[in-house]
Structure 1
Amino acid sequence: MSELLLNNMELTRSFFIKNVAAVDEGLVSVQPAGFNNNIHWHVGHVLTTTESLLFGFPKNTSHLPANYMELFARGTKPADWKGDVPSVSILVGQLKDQLNRMKEIPVESLSVELKEPFLGQKAFGELVNFALFHENLHLGHIQAMKRVIETEKK
């Protein structure tokens, strides 16, 4: 089961990156009606949330700038962005680097119980599984937003 989870990690992230790369650069900052954010935000949010869930960002890892929490955490939005905001291409590079670190997670750590349940997850492997679910959820938003934006531009 743990090998399947680790394989799913690579599949999910690779598919996410491929889909983000297929979005025209001119569309990533558009916030279509009915959506709270734009594609750019979703990419940063997936990166930041995964870093938080799997690597303890911002306290226990320095792989991302601390201001990513202010930009991409739950409840944030592009309308409030101030200062240096990384481009989608930078975020995609960081997603690739993060995947390499994810692939280094020891299989035996997946069964380690969390100190206290988080989002209903009791073991680290369950948290990894939740991160993958979360990533796929946001990929769906990105795909929907892309279609809406492209339809509105016609």
Structure 2
Amino acid sequence: MISERFECEILRASRTRLLQLIETTDYEILFKIPEGFNNNIIWQIGHCITSQQRHMYMRSGLPMHISEAFEESFKIGSSPRSWKIMPNVNEVKDLLIDTVNQLESDLESKLFVNYQPFELPIGFQVKNHIEALQAANYHEAEHSGKVFTYLKLLLKE
């Protein structure tokens, strides 16, 4: 049986690591797009938050805990090149942990009752909020890998 608590612990550990990266990396590096790529470190992190909110809350018919502007800046298909305003790093930092706290509370409250299934680009169908949390953790691992790759490339410049 899948443990919601364990999945949240994985999410919190991943988010804590990303938060530490933001706090220890120069602002300019966070927003610089490595040559040959379309996005930057902040986009990758904001995208993780946005995707988790969309997969868990939007697909459950619940309000997300991010603003429309935040979602627009970081949803799939967006890019820093299309930003009308620069995202606030402090908002990204706050949302990294606040959304995990909110998710844990909402899971304890059994808030996730309905779910609109969808198919991931890798060919798996997500049928409920537990699978959405697992998919979000997988997705965040992919994007965290990109974050650390970007960081390595940018620090070499």
For the aligned pair, the TM-score class normalised by the smaller chain equals 0.7 to 0.9
Distance in 2, matches of 1:70 and 1:113, equals 25
Distance in 1, matches of 2:154 and 2:8, equals 34
Retained in 1: the 8 A contact 2:8–2:100?
A: no
Distance in 2, matches of 1:144 and 1:100, equals 28
Q: Which amino acid aligns with 2:77?
A: G
The unaligned stretches of length 5 or more in structure 1 are none
Residue 74 of structure 1 deviates from its aligned partner by 0.7
The unaligned stretches of length 5 or more in structure 2 are none
Residue 6 of structure 1 deviates from its aligned partner by 2.7
Which one of 21, 25, 34 corresponds to residue 23 of structure 1? 25
Tell me the percent identity: 25
Alignment of 1:94-109 (within 5 A): 94-106=95-107
When the two structures are superposed, what TM-score results if normalisation uses the length of structure 2? Answer: 0.81
Distance in 2, matches of 1:111 and 1:65, equals 20
For 1:76, the equivalent position in structure 2 comes to: 78
Residue 62 of structure 1 deviates from its aligned partner by 5.3
Residue 23 of structure 1 deviates from its aligned partner by 2.0
Distance in 2, matches of 1:9 and 1:45, equals 14
Retained in 2: the 8 A contact 1:109–1:125?
A: no
- 2:106 match: secondary structure: coil
How big is each residue's C-alpha offset from its partner over 1:3-33, in whole Å with a ceiling of 9 and x where there is no partner? Answer: 3223222222222222332322120111111
Tell me the number of residue pairs that the alignment of Structure 1 and Structure 2 aligns. 150
Which one of 17, 23, 35 corresponds to residue 33 of structure 1? 35
Distance in 2, matches of 1:36 and 1:20, equals 19
How big is each residue's C-alpha offset from its partner over 1:103-143, in whole Å with a ceiling of 9 and x where there is no partner? Answer: 21325959967443442122211110111111121111111
Gap change, CA 1:113 and 1:61, over 3 Å in 2: closer
Asked whether 1:12 is paired with 2:14, we answer yes
Gap change, CA 1:126 and 1:147, over 3 Å in 2: same
Distance in 2, matches of 1:61 and 1:131, equals 17
Which one of 112, 124, 131 corresponds to residue 129 of structure 2? 124
Distance in 2, matches of 1:11 and 1:132, equals 10
